[in-house]
Structure 1
């Protein structure tokens, strides 16, 4: 019995982490807990997908709200960068130049032809983006909203 349970305890958490960004994604868990916010529904949705392995089935079959052409993305690097560089990023955005602003553009994979528009947007909407310089979450949320409102830069909002 121990030999059977050991792999489950080793691999089940990996499956849960793989589906950690489940809410708004796909799989039975995201359908059952659709529209619910907070840690508990996310954990339950990820656990549902991990336990039943249905997210993998959904991706391979194109069902359960999954698509086969999805892009794997993660905003954790951007969030960590913003959190560690809030004050300097605010200064660079206000002036429209600087290493932290360049680094953020690189993290968001802003293409060379869009870089000037990105810098201009962060400078023009500085007061809105950096309303709460102490809160990395607020900065990320406002930056994402600013990017989404610009048709040229909206494609970079997913990385925030």
Structure 2
């Protein structure tokens, strides 16, 4: 029983970011549970993929909705950072400077030559990005949209 509770304590916070990461994005599980939203379908899709080992097959063969040219990203780190630093990040973005904004730029692997454009974008689009300071998901979604809308910074959007 203790192991179950510990497992749930670890998995539940991580599941809040599962939708943003699109964990079951290919494999048989993604096909069976396609279009369904929420934690349960995502967990079932991943479990289906793991049980049958089909996601590995899909990636190596380019089938089951998988591609062979995919990029492994760690957007969950960004989501967790945003969640833990929402208020300070909003303040730093509004002023166009600060440790939290610098840390986010580093986490997104913003190149030195693009950092000024990143800071400028977060300041200019502050009202859109931080419209809901209480929601890390909303901030991440809006930040990603802002990055995608900028030709120079669009390459960093997948890290959000």
Bin the TM-score by the shorter chain: 0.7 to 0.9
Which residue in the other structure is 1:142 paired with? Answer: 142
Which residue in the other structure is 1:78 paired with? Answer: 78
User: For structure 1, which runs of at least 5 residues remain unmatched after alignment?
Assistant: 1-16
- Higher CA-based Rg: 1
Which residue in the other structure is 1:42 paired with? Answer: 42
Question: Structure 2 vs 1, CA of residues 72 and 89 (structure 1 numbering), >3 Å: closer, same or farther?
Answer: same
SS at 1:109 equivalent: coil
Which residue in the other structure is 1:11 paired with? Answer: none
TM normalised by structure 2 equals 0.81
Query: Which piece of structure 1 moves more, 60-69 or 50-59?
Result: 60-69
Q: For the residues of structure 2 that align with 1:92 and 1:75, how far apart are their CA atoms? A: 21
Q: For the residues of structure 2 that align with 1:102 and 1:50, how far apart are their CA atoms? A: 38
**Residues 76-126 of structure 1, C-alpha deviations (whole Å, 9 max, x = no match):** 111111111111111110111111111100101111121111111100000
Which residue in the other structure is 2:12 paired with? Answer: none
Q: For the residues of structure 2 that align with 1:96 and 1:22, how far apart are their CA atoms? A: 33
SS at 2:78 equivalent: helix
How far 1:21 moved relative to its partner?
A: 4.0
Q: For the residues of structure 1 that align with 2:23 and 2:81, how far apart are their CA atoms? A: 23
How far 1:69 moved relative to its partner?
A: 2.1
Q: For the residues of structure 1 that align with 2:139 and 2:23, how far apart are their CA atoms? A: 23
Which residue in the other structure is 1:8 paired with? Answer: none
- In the alignment, is residue 98 of structure 1 matched against residue 98 of structure 2? yes
Q: Which runs of 4+ in 1 moved over 3 A?
A: 19-23
User: For structure 2, which runs of at least 5 residues remain unmatched after alignment?
Assistant: 1-14
Q: For the residues of structure 1 that align with 2:23 and 2:104, how far apart are their CA atoms? A: 25
Within 5 Å, which residues of 2 pair with 1:59-74? 59-74=59-74
Which residue in the other structure is 2:122 paired with? Answer: 122
